[in-house]
Structure 1
Amino acid sequence: MKRFGVAVLLAACSAAHAVGWNYEESVDKMTGKKSASAQTVSDNLLNFDFPYQGKNRGYLPVRQHPQYGLDVLISIDKGQMLCSTYDCKVTIKFDDGPPVRFGGNGPADHSSETIFLQGAGKFIASAKKAKKILVQFNAFKNGSPVLEFSTPQSLDWPRK
């Protein structure tokens, strides 16, 4: 499955909180081919109950990987994003547009901090025009929090 490398990608996202999209390119060691990513970090922190209290930021990476293809992810530092195999929905609002529902999938390692969005192309088309992106998901015993991403420069994808 195409879920490998999430931890590496998120580590790059969390290195420093900067507003907007940050871009990276690397070479996949297995294939020798180029991998590209863009990521942004949430403006807000989530306030979850025990045992997930404390700093909890959201991440919104887009990646093109030679082995796994094109992916858009929603991720948090800690907590449980509810994404069962039969009903996983994420609501996303681009600027002042209407909220849009996306399906999702959990990662192959069954960790609960990441959701892979279905419809990466649809997301990217909207993100290429957006200056603000809101993401709402279901969290175990913590309702449906909203992550806020400021993107003063719209997503440049594929990177030119």
Structure 2
Amino acid sequence: MRAMGKALAVLLSLSPVSSYADWKYSEHVDEMRGEKAISATIRSEKTISPQASQAKLVITSVRSASGNAFIFDLENAQFSCLPPLCEVSMKFDDGKVLELKAAPGKDSNTILYVQNPNQFVATAKLASKLIVEVPIYKQGKSQFKFDVSGLTWEGETPSVDGLFAGVGGQRWAEPYNPTSGLVDNGFGEGDDRCYIEAHPAPLDLGVKPTKITHCYYQGRHYSSMVDFEFSKIKQVVSYVSKQVGKPELDIKEYVSWSDIEEKNLLSIGILGSKKSNVATLLVTYVPADNLVPPRKLVTR
């Protein structure tokens, strides 16, 4: 909470320096500590819920050397939260509904600090619209709509090394290149398409892939699947564990690394079948995945 309070103090002292569309950008320098904080702020364009027609929701992301923050500021109304955390929901474009936790501001019922600030910035940079649902005092759950297109503020992104950079030469959220030699495998619907590498190149997994699949949503890379022999799963688990800086996990037919996302941006897991001697390493760029509509279960 101390870091959150500091972020709020910085927010209140920020001065506007530029703007693009509805986004407002500001920066502030703490002369005593020599730290610079920057922010990007946007106001709701309209309230979807009639009972909260007079309310406005303001979203601000703050980044500084001492930490990042993602803040909801409610105007003309008050949040209704049961301590210690408040439940809020967000939906970017036509993607899945994200259920998040938020901490109320100290001595304030109009401020919420929402989890995963880096994830918000990375997703908003790819999206065009956002719907936020928050609990409002005497009005229940209320929804606010935002136009988030045109965000140019620099948010956190994965590093340039190893799995955090991408898989098989594909970079996270980069546009699909029709000359890359990828073959449409018929998996996916509409803007959500997956392609296989015709000639998968060796990776730094310690094993030779039998197939590599890359998935794109609206032409942006968000997921990769690497198939390999199940008998080599120990080698792959060892490699991934070193990549994410975690102890090796017990070998099972499903292995996942939770709470390892670099800056909340990646999800990694392995699904295998000893009977068929096939295992798949699944690496997903979470912000782009948040934009993808719920996919029907398809057997590959």
Into which bin does the TM-score normalised by the smaller protein fall?
0.7 to 0.9
Find the aligned partners of 1:148 and 1:11 in 2 and give their Cα distance: 26
Find the aligned partners of 1:92 and 1:126 in 2 and give their Cα distance: 11
Q: Which structure is larger by alpha-carbon Rg, 1 or 2?
A: 2
- What secondary structure, in the 3-state scheme, does the structure 2 residue paired with 1:121 have? helix
Aligned CA distance change for structure 1 residues 150 and 12 (closer, same or farther; 3 Å): farther
User: Size of the alignment, in residue pairs?
Assistant: 149
Q: Deviations over 1:14-54 (max 9, x none)?
A: xxxx85322111102442211100011110157668xxxx8
Q: Deviations over 1:37-79 (max 9, x none)?
A: 0011110157668xxxx85321010001344x10001111132
Of 143-152 and 19-28, deviating more is: 19-28
Give the unaligned 5+ runs of structure 1. Answer: none
Aligned CA distance change for structure 1 residues 111 and 121 (closer, same or farther; 3 Å): same
Find the aligned partners of 1:146 and 1:88 in 2 and give their Cα distance: 15
Give the alignment partner of residue 135 of structure 2, picking from 132, 135, 138. Answer: 138
Where in structure 2 are the equivalents of 1:22-37 lying within 5 Å? 22-37=24-39
Contact 2:129 2:149 in 1 (8 A): yes
Give the unaligned 5+ runs of structure 2. Answer: 157-300
- What secondary structure, in the 3-state scheme, does the structure 1 residue paired with 2:28 have? strand
Aligned CA distance change for structure 1 residues 156 and 94 (closer, same or farther; 3 Å): same
Residue 21 of structure 1: aligned partner: 23
Residue 110 of structure 2: aligned partner: 113
Aligned CA distance change for structure 1 residues 87 and 63 (closer, same or farther; 3 Å): closer
Look up the equivalent residue of 2:131 and give its one-letter code. Answer: L
The answer as to 2:62 corresponding to 1:63 is yes
TM-score when scaled to structure 2?
0.44
Contact 2:69 2:113 in 1 (8 A): yes
Structure with more contact order per residue of length (Cα contacts < 8 Å, sep ≥ 6): 1
Give the alignment partner of residue 41 of structure 2, picking from 39, 42, 52. Answer: 39
Contact 2:124 2:149 in 1 (8 A): no
Find the aligned partners of 1:146 and 1:99 in 2 and give their Cα distance: 13
Of 32-41 and 3-12, deviating more is: 3-12
Look up the equivalent residue of 2:97 and give its one-letter code. Answer: P
Residue 78 of structure 1: aligned partner: 76
Where in structure 2 are the equivalents of 1:82-101 lying within 5 Å? 82-101=80-99
**CA shift for structure 1 position 82:** 2.1
Contact 1:132 1:150 in 2 (8 A): yes
Aligned CA distance change for structure 1 residues 58 and 19 (closer, same or farther; 3 Å): farther
Residue 9 of structure 1: aligned partner: 11
Return the structure number with greater strand share: 2
Residue 104 of structure 1: aligned partner: 102
Contact 1:74 1:117 in 2 (8 A): yes
Contact 2:93 2:127 in 1 (8 A): yes
Percentage of pairs with the same residue: 25
Q: Supply the RMSD in Å over aligned alpha carbons.
A: 2.8
Q: Deviations over 1:107-160 (max 9, x none)?
A: 1x220101100121222221121111111011111111111111221353239x
**CA shift for structure 1 position 84:** 2.8
The answer as to 2:122 corresponding to 1:125 is yes
Contact 2:14 2:27 in 1 (8 A): no
Return the structure number with greater helix share: 2
TM-score when scaled to structure 1?
0.78
Look up the equivalent residue of 1:35 and give its one-letter code. Answer: A
